[in-house]
Amino acid sequence: MNSFNPDTQSAPSYVKAPTHLIKAGDTTFAYRELGQQNGIPLVLLNHWGAVLDNFDPRIVEGLARQHRVIAIDYRGIGLSGGTAPVTVGEMARDTLLLIRAMGFEQVELLGFSLGGFVAQEVVLTAPNLVRKLILTGTGPAGGQGIDRVGAVSWPLMLKGLLTLRDPKTYLFFTSTANGRQAASAFLKRLQERKTDRDKAATPSAFFRQLKAIKDWGRQTSQDLSHLRLPVLIVNGDHDIMVPTALSHDMARRIPNSRLVIYEDAGHGGIFQYHEDFVRQALAFLAE
């Protein structure tokens, strides 16, 4: 593993991208990057319990065709050091520390699920840092149903255990033929990397992140009209983890936003429609 070096040439694929370490504050963070070495970097913030190997290779690689893409492990997750935070606010502060440690004056953010919570908090805390924001499978602070993510997830995690399937089959995708096919393809993509894989999240980190999610769902609603930057909001029409209605809610409340809803898709709609999502995201970022 290597320390951060902005002059290092990126690997041609996410599956082959090396894992780097960088010190930010008192914590050493793990990350991978690929793509362009110039321009405004696109920082990826992932879901509950996710490590670097949970980023969809096709999405990362597709975005990296035109951008410098950086995927990170949160504090206490994967190969990042420290203890996982129990609030979204702490995770946002970590992200700001990491961005500054890398020497970036401006970034673009893509947040999926929990990562979308963190991304919103980053923009509200440091509005001049982020040029454009992509929110996928996510919702606003105080959004109805977010505090029930655990209650929704546990039965489907048990179902995954009993059926010998990855729980994301049930959590991220619909139960239709299209959904099942998309789940199978996505899970295969996550296994493409055979060496230098990240360390799985510990049970302690998993539960600490769940507390952060519950608190986000129960906290006071934020004034999203303060988000003045361009925002692309994307979800499936049957998101059972972070209800799709919350994507519509954010689109109504954020002045300069556009909404994309994929049919017959769940929480992982961007994975099911990864080719179209990459096209939409690249077009949005290019504007």
Residue 241: closest CA among 218, 268, 211, 206: 268
Residue in the structure block whose two tokens are 């105080």:
142
Q: Are the C-beta atoms of residues 95 and 69 closer than 8 Å to each other?
A: no
Q: What are the tens digits of pLDDT across the range 59-101?
A: 999 999 999 999 999 999 999 999 999 999 999 999 999 999 9
Q: How many CA atoms lie within 13 A of 224 on its CB side?
A: 26
pLDDT band at 5; cut points 50, 70, 90: very low
144: tokens are: 């109805």
- For a pLDDT cut of 90, what percent of the chain falls above it? 93
pLDDT (tens digit, 9 = 90+) per residue, 142-166?
999 999 999 999 999 999 999 999 9
Q: Which CATH superfamily is domain 20-286 in?
A: Alpha/Beta hydrolase fold, catalytic domain (3.40.50.1820)
